[in-house]
């Protein structure tokens, strides 16, 4: 892979998060039957940032929040050369009848979201599940999964890699696109 090219810098990155938070608030003015769940690991980072913005912008501080690990629900769990490291699921509430806002940083093949929806069933039967992603790689889907709220859409070749970086983890909020180096002829 070559060096990453920044496709979303800090200021537009934060404006995108602000926009996503307002879209969610417009949909769910009352969050009493809503829960926000981030997919471990990077989806949780996005979910925590959006939760803080939603609470600040809506003045609602009792929004139900959870973290979901999908490691053992992945369809490639047993076929990987290097075992995946499991994270912790932190959902200490029932999803029965709740409206779930599921959050992940990058929507690529749809397999992680599929695994997340399977994992959510262990916590009850939600009335609805909506998907939020910061980056949608729409031409690379393996499963018929579509986000309800999208920060940015990236059209790239299959071999490309999108990485979301976070200020408190990586030093700056930004989205990078890595493309494979082309061999010299």
Residue 94 CA to residue 152 CA, distance in Å, equals: 32
Residue 39 CA to residue 31 CA, distance in Å, equals: 20
DSSP code for 171: S
User: How high is the pLDDT of residue 3?
Assistant: 73
Does this model's pTM top 0.75? yes
CA angle at 102 for the pair 33 and 81, rounded to the nearest 5°: 145
Confidence of residue 23 (pLDDT cuts 50, 70, 90): very high
Q: What is the pLDDT of residues 86-111, one digit of tens each?
A: 789 999 999 999 999 999 999 999 99
Nearest CA-CA partner of 132 in 54, 43, 53: 43
Q: What is the pLDDT of residues 105-137, one digit of tens each?
A: 999 999 999 999 999 999 999 999 999 999 999
Nearest CA-CA partner of 120 in 142, 93, 84, 149: 93
Q: Which domains does the chain have, with CATH numbers?
A: 5-75+85-178 (3.40.50.2020)
């Amino acid at each position: 892979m070559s060096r990453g090219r920044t496709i979303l810098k800090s200021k537009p990155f934060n404006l995108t998060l602000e926009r996503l938070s307002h879209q969610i608030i417009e949909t769910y003015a009352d969050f009493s039957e809503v829960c926000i769940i981030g997919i471990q690991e990077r989806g949780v980072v996005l979910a925590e940032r959006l939760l803080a913005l939603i609470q600040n912008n809506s003045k609602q501080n009792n929004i139900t929040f959870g973290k979901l690990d999908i490691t053992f629900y992945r369809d490639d769990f047993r076929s990987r050369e290097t075992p995946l490291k499991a994270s912790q699921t932190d959902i200490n509430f029932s999803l029965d009848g709740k409206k779930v806002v599921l959050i992940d940083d990058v929507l690529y093949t749809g397999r992680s979201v599929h695994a997340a929806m399977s994992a959510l069933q262990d916590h009850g039967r939600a009335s609805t599940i909506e998907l939020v992603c910061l980056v949608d790689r729409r031409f690379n889907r393996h499963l018929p999964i579509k986000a309800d709220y999208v920060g940015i859409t990236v059209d790239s070749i299959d071999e490309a890699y999108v990485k979301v970086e976070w200020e408190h983890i990586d030093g700056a909020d930004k989205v990078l696109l890595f493309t494979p180096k082309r061999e010299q002829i």
